[in-house]
Amino acid sequence: MRRLAALLPALAGALLLTLAAAQAPNAQLQTSSSQLPHRLLLPALAADSAAGTSTFATPTPAATGTPASTACGYRGPVRTLSDPAAAGVDRTPAAGSVGGLLALDRPAGLTAASPRQPGAEARAVALDAWLRAAIRTPGGGVELLISTSPDGPLLRASFPSPECASGASPADRAAMEAARVAFLQACGVPTASQWRPLGGRATLAGIPAWGQPRPSGTDGAPTGIELAPVLSFALAGSADCDPAQPFGPTPTPTPGPALELLIHVDPIRVSRGQQVTVTIIVQEPPGPGGTPVPGPAGIRCSYTAYDVALNELARGGPTPTGPGGRVSWTFTVPEWAALDTASRENGRVQPACEGIPARGSARLEIVG
């Protein structure tokens, strides 16, 4: 009996260890399961969310890296050429029109999860349009409203952010980024808080896609048809993006000395916390074989600097030009500035001078 009494504590201890070992895997599995959604949601926070949501449909990442539709707007993969059927799309643009797309009937039963549809979504179109307004999406993309006239029905055209286009082919990504940069250089960077009015004629090419219906018609087509994505963009002739410009034939300008503006960024390749000097030069363009003539003093100029995600880094002016038509500013790259990606997208510095069209912007590479 004494021997049995001495063994009882040891047997009890062994039983408790066995029970603890049996419960430990379950406790570890529950902890991992509760943490997994938080890890999966982090990439969506930086995505371009036209629909205002940032969740993935499944906790298993796609092998191709295709963005989830909820992270990049309604039918995101289709609207960024990142869906499995994108390889079969004819990218040779056919002649099209804003009115022709607006007249299409929306396929019955179409939902946010519907795959690419035959017909309109299977071939690129090129069309002429009047610019109406633009807005910047959270990830750096641009949504553009176009029509056939300054008061015609609206069609939405989409320039996806680099992040939302990451699942497309390299050729399609390059075309989408070139179109987005061409728009930003021509019209500047729109705000993210409200639609910025625009004007002017432009030629666009892209793939029609069925997006979110816009019943009011004030921010797109009631049927949801869009030009998404845009693969090329160019202003027509001497047009600019000024909403006040006439819709009819452009008046003959009064002869006079033409002025152009140049922008210089030093250094172009920078790190967070580093200072950058921006210089704007106003001059008369040189004639054949000639040299530029310095512009006058007193022209009010300004600049705005953006990172690759189109977050505003700094702005300066309006400040009058000095002797030689020059004006300069210096700013420090914020520590929170987005770094450039490996696919050749960069930040930009956009110049502006009163009465002088700005035809481009300067590159700003933020690398560390």
Q: Could you tell me which residue, 175 or 363, shows the higher pLDDT?
A: 175
pLDDT in tens, 270-308: 999 999 999 998 888 776 767 777 877 788 899 999 988
Over its C-alpha atoms, the chain yields an Rg (Å, rounded) of: 28
Of 161-170, 202-211, 244-253, 350-359, which gets the smallest average pLDDT? 244-253
Of 87-96, 110-119, 142-151, 252-261, which gets the smallest average pLDDT? 252-261
| Whether 344 contacts 326, CB under 8 Å | no
| Whether 306 contacts 313, CB under 8 Å | yes
Instruction: Give yes or no for residue 146 having a pLDDT over 90.
Output: yes
Distance spanning both ends of the chain, measured CA to CA: 76
User: Exposed/middle/buried for 221, CB within 10 Å: 0-12, 13-18, 19+?
Assistant: buried
Homologous superfamily of domain range 260-366: Macroglobulin (MG2) domain (2.60.40.1930)
Q: Could you tell me which residue, 249 or 263, shows the higher pLDDT?
A: 263
CATH assignment of 76-105+113-235?
A: 2.40.50.140
At residue 229 the predicted structure's pLDDT band, cuts being 50, 70 and 90, is very high
pLDDT in tens, 316-341: 988 988 878 889 999 999 999 988 87
Compute the average pLDDT of residues 96-117: 92
Q: Could you tell me which residue, 2 or 123, shows the higher pLDDT?
A: 123
Total Cβ atoms within 10 A of residue 224: 19
What is the largest distance, in Å, between two alpha-carbon atoms of the chain?
Answer: 120
Helix (H) / strand (E) containing 241: none
Instruction: Give yes or no for residue 196 having a pLDDT over 90.
Output: yes
- Looking at residue 300, its pLDDT comes to 86
The pLDDT > 70 percentage for the chain reads 76
| pTM for this prediction | 0.59
C-alpha span between 88 and 83 (Å, rounded)? 10
Of 152-161, 164-173, 213-222, 276-285, which gets the smallest average pLDDT? 276-285
C-alpha span between 145 and 231 (Å, rounded)? 16
At residue 363 the predicted structure's pLDDT band, cuts being 50, 70 and 90, is confident
Residue 63 to residues 53, 67, 83, 226, Cα–Cα distance (Å)? 22, 11, 13, 28
At residue 65 the predicted structure's pLDDT band, cuts being 50, 70 and 90, is very low
The pLDDT > 90 percentage for the chain reads 45
Facing residues of 352 across strands? 302
Q: Which of 96-105, 346-355, 359-368 has the highest mean pLDDT?
A: 96-105
Q: Quick one: CA dihedral 96, 100, 105, 106, positive or negative? A: positive
Instruction: Give yes or no for residue 143 having a pLDDT over 80.
Output: yes
| Whether 245 contacts 199, CB under 8 Å | yes
- Looking at residue 356, its pLDDT comes to 80
At residue 346 the predicted structure's pLDDT band, cuts being 50, 70 and 90, is confident
- Looking at residue 7, its pLDDT comes to 43
- Looking at residue 206, its pLDDT comes to 97
- Looking at residue 294, its pLDDT comes to 80
- Looking at residue 27, its pLDDT comes to 34
- Looking at residue 352, its pLDDT comes to 86
Instruction: Give yes or no for residue 129 having a pLDDT over 60.
Output: yes
Q: Quick one: CA dihedral 220, 223, 229, 234, positive or negative? A: negative
Residue-range domain boundaries for the chain: 76-105+113-235, 260-366
Question: What are the DSSP calls for 246-309, one per residue?
Answer: -SSSPPPPPP----EEEEEEESSEE-TT-EEEEEEEEEEPP-TT--PEEPPTT-EEEEEEE-TT
C-alpha span between 316 and 332 (Å, rounded)? 12
Length of the chain: 368
| Whether 78 contacts 121, CB under 8 Å | yes
